[in-house]
């Protein structure tokens, strides 16, 4: 009798146990630790906020921000200050007196009535400014041949020189001082203001 054991068939072999696989970490699982929050980026002051505040004092302008008259008044603070530094204080000349001198220089033989209309000022106020310019030898009055009651205005040689010098100095200082405007913006602003003034 053969005592040798017959080999086991493959079907009788016990199946190999699968090793437990490591569980994948599910980031969306409620039990998963939350990802650390990134600190918020520091935000610089937006240009819009600066545009909505007063140039000095940083008060919110509110509806005034869209009001041309208000913005012109704010802008005049810096333009008048510049005029006083460059022309007004050094030469004892008011803005209206400089304006009259420059207009007379650009418009020889202009009449006081034309200046009154051009500047929208009263006749006595214009006359007062003309008297001061004439007293300093910057302009001369010439009788109007067509109307003996009126006269024409012209600048003297000194008035011509000063008018050109003052205007040149003001233009140069405006471009240097008003650095918030590019040269193109400066030109555009003067054109827009002139266009606005023509609405009267």
pLDDT for position 96: 97
Rounded CA-CA distance 31/159 in Å is: 89
Reply yes or no on whether the pLDDT at 67 is more than 70. yes
Reply yes or no on whether the pLDDT at 146 is more than 60. yes
pLDDT for position 195: 96
pLDDT for position 182: 95
Residue 75, domain extent: 54-173
**Nearest in space to 63 (alpha carbons), one of 52, 75, 79:** 52
Say what percent of the chain tops pLDDT 90: 66
On whether residue 58 sits in a domain, the answer given is yes
On whether residue 25 sits in a domain, the answer given is no
Convert the pLDDT of each residue in 21-38 to its tens digit.
555 555 454 555 555 555
On whether residue 38 sits in a domain, the answer given is no
Rounded CA-CA distance 156/141 in Å is: 10
pLDDT for position 23: 56
Convert the pLDDT of each residue in 1-21 to its tens digit.
455 555 554 444 555 555 555
On whether residue 148 sits in a domain, the answer given is yes
Rounded CA-CA distance 171/162 in Å is: 14
| Mean of per-residue pLDDT scores for the chain | 84
Reply yes or no on whether the pLDDT at 63 is more than 50. yes
On whether residue 5 sits in a domain, the answer given is no
Residues 137-155, mean pLDDT to the nearest whole number: 87
pLDDT for position 52: 73
The model's pTM = 0.72
Total count of domains within the chain: 1
Structure tokens at 115: 């200046």
Could you tell me which residue, 34 or 127, shows the higher pLDDT?
127
CATH for 85: 1.10.10.10
Helix (H) or strand (E) holding 154: strand 151-155
Structure tokens at 107: 């418009």
On whether residue 91 sits in a domain, the answer given is yes
Rounded CA-CA distance 151/102 in Å is: 18
Identify the band that residue 70 occupies on the pLDDT scale cut at 50, 70 and 90.
very high
Pair 103, 110: CB distance under 8 Å? yes
pLDDT for position 41: 53
On whether residue 68 sits in a domain, the answer given is yes
pLDDT for position 155: 98
Helix (H) or strand (E) holding 96: helix 95-106
On whether residue 200 sits in a domain, the answer given is no
Reply yes or no on whether the pLDDT at 42 is more than 50. no
């Amino acid at each position: 009798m053969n005592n040798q054991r017959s080999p086991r068939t493959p079907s009788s072999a016990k199946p190999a146990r699968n090793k437990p696989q490591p569980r994948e970490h599910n980031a969306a699982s409620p039990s998963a630790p939350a990802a650390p929050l990134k600190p918020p980026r520091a935000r610089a002051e937006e240009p819009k906020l600066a545009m909505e505040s007063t140039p000095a004092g940083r008060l919110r302008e509110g509806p005034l921000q869209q009001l041309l008259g208000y913005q012109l008044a704010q802008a005049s603070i810096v333009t008048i200050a510049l005029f006083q530094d460059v022309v007004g204080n050094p030469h004892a000349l008011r803005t209206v007196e400089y304006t009259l001198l420059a207009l007379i220089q650009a418009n020889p033989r202009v009449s006081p009535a034309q200046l009154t209309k051009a500047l929208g000022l009263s006749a006595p106020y214009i006359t007062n400014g003309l008297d001061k310019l004439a007293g300093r030898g910057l302009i001369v009055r010439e009788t109007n041949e067509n109307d003996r009651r009126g006269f024409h205005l012209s600048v003297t040689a000194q008035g011509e020189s000063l008018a050109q010098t003052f205007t040149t100095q003001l233009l140069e200082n405006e471009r240097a001082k008003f650095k918030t405007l590019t040269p193109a913006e400066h030109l555009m602003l003067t054109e827009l203001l002139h266009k606005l003034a023509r609405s009267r």
